[in-house]
Amino acid sequence: MTAAPIPQPAVPLVDPFARAIRYLRVSVTDRCDFRCVYCMSEKMQFLPKAELLTLEELDRLCSAFVRLGVEKLRITGGEPLVRRDIMTFFAAMGRHLETGALKELTLTTNGSQLGRHAKDLYAAGVRRVNVSLDTLDEAKFARVTRWGRLPQVLAGIDAALAAGLRVKINTVALKGFNEDELFALTEFCAARDMDLTFIEVMPMGDIGNEDRIGQYWSLQDLRADLARRYTLHDLPDRTGGPARYVMLGETRQRVGFITPLSHNFCESCNRVRVTCTGEIYTCLGQEGHSDLRGPLRSSEGDATLERAIRAAIALKPKGHDFDYSREDVAGRVSRHMSHTGG
């Protein structure tokens, strides 16, 4: 009797520039309970529900990527925690952590719903969350988020820490808005043993009357300001994302810089993004994308879906073209960040 063949592991995803794709960011909704001025317009037209992937489809999609070698899965939005029944999806993804196929399950959130969900996130296997926080001033917070309330977010951060989650604060550097809070934000994070990452504002989507060039605060300048108070030690740390890290000698905390404009980090890009409608963007700063929703819905098996994923990875470009060096925003892309996922 001939023994049954031993199943062979799937050939991993490798793009045309020999970068292995290990990191998937999935948007589960384009909706958000904030209207941050650098992210979306105040009167957003959100997608019809029928266009969004169901939670079951998101499970199939993410599981296919895990089979193909993805080891880190970040859930994004919009605000992922406003999606109805989203915790059932997190719980389902936890099975890949248990097998060891998935090394990390995490999310990026505005923090507004963490007070309700922090314990359940930890139970599902999440150990780290990124919280977007651009100011510690309540009036300025209301202005930049339009609909947000700072005390609710701060309470959510406290709930996450109490649940055992590591919290990293993501701060978008906005000229004329939070320049004067550089040290306050740094000290706020140091007091709570939280990492802090600064992000350059990116030219994505029509945001009404907001001025992209006027918002842009180069992280080269920010870093120079930080160095006036702290001793900065460069770190080799990589978390699967684009940030470059330093340690502050005086507080021993880690501070990251995501600089898609002043420094292109594309050479080491190991990630792709999938929108809540099943479009895969292999580069945040390019318009090119491929459809995965059609293959996902056309068959109960995953062979067609996996072929579509591989075909999309084969089109991944070498890099993006964001540029603020002129009095225009070169490399602008038309979609909102909330559609692609943060």
Alpha-carbon Rg for the chain in angstroms: 20
Task: Compute the half-sphere exposure of residue 283: CA atoms within 13 Å on the CB side of its CA.
Answer: 24
Look up residue 194 and give its two tokens.
Answer: 């939280």
Residue 189 among known ligand-binding residues: no
Coil, strand, or helix at residue 55? helix
Contact 67, 116 (CB under 8 A): no
**Residue 74 annotated as binding?**
yes
Calpha distance 116→141 (Å, rounded): 21
Burial (CB count within 10 angstroms: exposed 0-12, middle 13-18, buried 19+), residue 181: middle
168 is in an annotated binding site: yes
Q: Which structure tokens are listed for 315? A: 């089109």
Distance CA 263, CA 220 (A): 9
Residue 283, annotated as binding a ligand: yes
Residue 132 known to bind ligand: yes
273 is in an annotated binding site: yes
276 assigned ligand-binding residue: no
A 10 A CB-CB count for 284 gives 22
Q: At a CB cut-off of 8 Å and minimum separation 6, what does 145 contact?
A: 34, 35, 36, 110
Question: Quick one: which of 324, 301, 273, 314 has its CA closest to 60?
Answer: 301
Annotated binding site for [4Fe-4S] cluster: 32, 36, 39, 266, 269, 283
Annotated binding site for GTP: 25, 74, 108, 168, 271-273
Annotated binding site: 25, 32, 36, 38-39, 74, 78, 108, 132, 168, 202, 266, 269, 271-273, 283
Annotated binding site for S-adenosyl-L-methionine: 38, 78, 132, 202
